């Protein structure tokens, strides 16, 4: 995801730089108010909560990753809303004062031109300040920053779609088809080893797929799928079994009996997958 870059504050718009550059200009031209406006703009720049605009960084902290329950569309939308509030709040004030600084510098440059004692380089310096303030004001106004946030939002939603949403159903179909073949093989050769190793792995994969489908809806990334959550919950005891699904010395009859418990749930999972094709 594209990283957000906080714009650096231009040195030329600081009170310190202005006091240094104006030299004897102030004595000849009188009070301009530029220094005071530079202070005001810089204070507003520091008042902006820049961290709220850094959506990629905030997303990594708040949403973390797909495995966490915090990875919800509602949490993401909250971050976007807070960022936009900063744009229309503190940043709008900053942009407005930058435009005032631009206008003040433009007016001051016009007055400088009328005074022959003031060198043209001084006039040009004030015009450069006006241009710099204008560029930063445009960069930080509602339209520009709103566009930046909109682009970050679209990019993240596209990333979620590509990484998580789009692969979900194809992935679970693969798990389901693989497990269907595996179950058929176990029924043909019902050994404890086959059920406890490959059988349990297949159930874990299928349970993970069903859980992810359920999470899409539960976290707001897609329609709710209560059936997927129910099936995931029903298969979880087998998926999480640490000792194996049957005893190592279980008979073929015991293996088939355990398969018979799993099969109705698995068949409902197959129906769910088929319905989503």
Backbone angles phi, psi at 86, to 5 degrees: -70, -35
Res. 76: pLDDT tops 80: yes
Residues constituting the chain: 277
- Residues 189-210 have pLDDT tens digits of 999 999 999 999 999 999 999 9
Q: What is the mean pLDDT of residues 214-218?
A: 94
- Residues 4-42 have pLDDT tens digits of 999 999 999 999 999 888 765 656 667 889 999 999 999
pLDDT value of residue 231: 93
pLDDT value of residue 83: 97
* Rounded Cα gap, residues 225 and 151, in angstroms: 30
Residue from 228, 221, 196, 255 nearest 69 by CA? 221
Residue 33 CB neighbours (<10 A) = 13
* Rounded Cα gap, residues 133 and 274, in angstroms: 60
pTM: 0.85
- Residues 226-252 have pLDDT tens digits of 999 999 999 999 999 888 899 999 999
Residues 6+ away with beta carbon under 8 Å from 24: none
Q: What is the DSSP letter of 41?
A: H
- Residues 94-125 have pLDDT tens digits of 999 999 999 999 999 998 888 888 888 888 99
pLDDT value of residue 29: 66
Res. 274: pLDDT tops 90: no
Q: Which tokens hold the place of 128? A: 């450069």
Contact present, 2 and 56 (Cβ < 8 Å)? yes
pLDDT value of residue 277: 53
* Rounded Cα gap, residues 165 and 145, in angstroms: 28
pLDDT value of residue 27: 61
- Residues 129-153 have pLDDT tens digits of 999 999 999 999 999 999 999 999 9
88 falls in which pLDDT band (50, 70, 90)?
very high
pLDDT value of residue 59: 94
State what percent of residues in the chain have pLDDT above 90: 75
247-to-81, 90, 115, 196, 266 alpha-carbon distances in Å:
55, 66, 100, 9, 22
pLDDT value of residue 55: 96
DSSP string, 147-181: HHHHHHHHHHHHHHIIIIIHHHHHHHHHHHHHHHH
Chain-centroid distance, C-alpha 139: 22
Q: What is the DSSP letter of 110?
A: H
pLDDT value of residue 134: 98
| Ranges of each domain in the chain | 11-140, 165-275
* Rounded Cα gap, residues 112 and 138, in angstroms: 26
Res. 262: pLDDT tops 70: yes
pLDDT value of residue 234: 95
């Amino acid at each position: 995801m594209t990283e957000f870059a906080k714009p650096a504050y231009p040195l030329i718009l600081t009170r310190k730089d202005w006091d240094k550059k104006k030299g004897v200009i102030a004595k000849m031209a009188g009070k301009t108010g530029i220094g005071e406006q530079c202070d005001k703009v810089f204070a507003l720049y520091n008042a902006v909560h820049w961290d709220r605009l850094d959506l990629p960084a905030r997303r990594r902290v708040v949403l973390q990753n797909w495995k966490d329950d915090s990875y919800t569309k509602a949490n993401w939308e909250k971050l976007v809303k807070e960022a936009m509030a900063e744009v229309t709040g503190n940043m709008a004030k900053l942009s407005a004062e930058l435009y005032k600084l631009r206008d003040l510098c433009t007016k001051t440059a016009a007055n400088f031109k009328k005074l022959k004692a003031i060198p043209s380089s001084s006039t040009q310096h004030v015009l450069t300040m006006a241009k710099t303030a204008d560029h930063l004001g445009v960069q930080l106004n509602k339209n520009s920053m709103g566009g930046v946030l909109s682009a970050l939002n679209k990019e993240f939603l596209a990333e979620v779609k590509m990484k998580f949403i789009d692969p979900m159903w194809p992935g679970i179909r693969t798990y389901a088809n693989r497990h269907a073949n595996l179950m058929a093989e176990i029924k043909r050769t019902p050994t404890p080893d086959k059920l406890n190793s490959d059988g349990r792995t297949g159930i874990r994969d299928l349970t993970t797929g069903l859980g992810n489908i359920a999470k899409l809806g539960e976290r707001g990334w897609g329609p709710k799928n209560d059936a997927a959550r129910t099936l995931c919950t029903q298969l979880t005891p087998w998926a999480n079994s640490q000792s194996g699904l049957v005893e190592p010395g279980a008979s073929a009859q015991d293996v088939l009996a355990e398969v018979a418990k799993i099969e109705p749930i698995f068949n409902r999972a197959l129906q769910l997958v088929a319905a989503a094709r």
